[in-house]
Amino acid sequence: MWDTIFQAIDDQYEQMVETRRHLHRHPEVSFKEEKTAQFIIGTYKRLGLPYQCKVGGNGVIATLEGGKPGKTVALRADFDALPIQEENEVSYKSKNDGAMHACGHDGHTAALLGLAEALLPFKEDLPGTIVFLHQHAEEYAPGGAKPILETGALEHVDAVFGTHIWVNTPVGVIQASKGPFMAGADRFEIKIQGKGGHGAQPHQTKDAIVIASQLVTSLQQVVSRRVDPLKTAVLSVGTFEAGHTFNIIADSAELTGTVRTFDHEVQELIIDEMEKIIKGTCESNSADYEFNYHKGYPPVVNHETEAELILQRSHEADPSLQTEEIEPVMAGEDFAYYLLDKPGAFYFTGGQIPDHYYPHHHPKFDFDEKALNYAAKTLLQAYRSYQEQV
């Protein structure tokens, strides 16, 4: 039976490509994905599968109950886009100014919808229940996963699996880790209030640019000199805004950035050390400050048994697939919340285009659409493996 189902997924490939390109042309950013949700709902209406809409926001959950006893497995795909102006010149280029599927979520959605359609004719032969979990707002905290869980819509689920099409990885390669897989992702804002003045009279000012520059340099010592070198952490300043013209010393400056960690104690250490450095620097320069730290998604920590199923059995979905156990990456994902609540695993499906490599969140991001087949097949294999484990 399984070989026939995997062939049915192959037969869905052109439809998955068409779906992906439709979604790519019509992206909607986090928390504004109403038309995308309606498109997903339309597919399940056509298939005759029961569904819930507006779950935790714009989330959509559909269910396929198999004809044989078994466990309930959720397969997740996110569907929000990013506030980016697309620079690709392709037939499926975004038609919505300032919005783009620059992370592969259009592909995740197309793969899950294609899988649902491929499975429907085999419904009576399937064990347990498959929950098709379409999640909104992954890109922007507080995200969509947490509010979906808070509705109780997944209380009956035994395990949850998800994949991310990953352009750092060649097509045909599946990557996962048994344990920490993706980092917790926080953000911060620092506002410095000094005293402005004429560029020719610096002694009469409290130069916010100089103070903020000291902070940028000093904050680099948090990870290099405060965090245990055997622990993993990143602290990056992403923006520095100050001043309006060349001959006026700025009275204020604003820094924003991100902190990535895998360990709660390291996270709290970094917050405490940042506060000390910011306070000390501003007090020594007689300046005021405001420090806002926003804890974002927790780390994605795979459950070992479920991750092992991905690494050891994904090739059963397609003999050409290779699997790799990799070190954790510092990107963040709100799939973390599902894994705090249920057993499961998250993994990468390779989607690299060798002659068109642009990273996730780049205005020229794109992926090899052959990844759609592999994403759908490995999600099915994860469900199958979980049903079959003793």
Residue 87 phi, psi (nearest 5) = -115, 0
Contacts of 177 (CB under 8 A, 6+ apart): 302, 307, 325, 326, 327, 328
**28, 33, 78, 80: which one is catalytic?**
80
Q: How far apart are CA 325 and CA 322, in angstroms?
A: 10
Residue 106: both structure tokens together = 């259009």
Q: Where are the beta strands (DSSP E) in 243-358?
A: 248-249, 252-261, 288-297, 300-301, 322-325, 344-350
**33, 78, 86, 138: which one is catalytic?**
138
273 is catalytic: no
Secondary structure of residue 81 in the 3-state scheme? strand
E strand or H helix at 280, and its extent? helix 264-284
207 is catalytic: no
Alpha carbon separation from 90 to 83, 129, 310 (Å, rounded): 19, 38, 33
Q: Where are the beta strands (DSSP E) in 56-158?
A: 59-65, 68-78, 127-135
- What single DSSP character describes residue 298? P
Q: Where are the beta strands (DSSP E) in 96-183?
A: 127-135, 159-166, 173-176, 180-182
Binding-site residue positions for Mn(2+):
103, 105, 139, 164, 361
Burial of 256 from C-beta contacts in 10 A (0-12 / 13-18 / 19+): middle
Binding-site residue positions:
103, 105, 139, 164, 361
Q: How far apart are CA 112 and CA 373, in angstroms?
A: 10
Active site residues: 80, 138
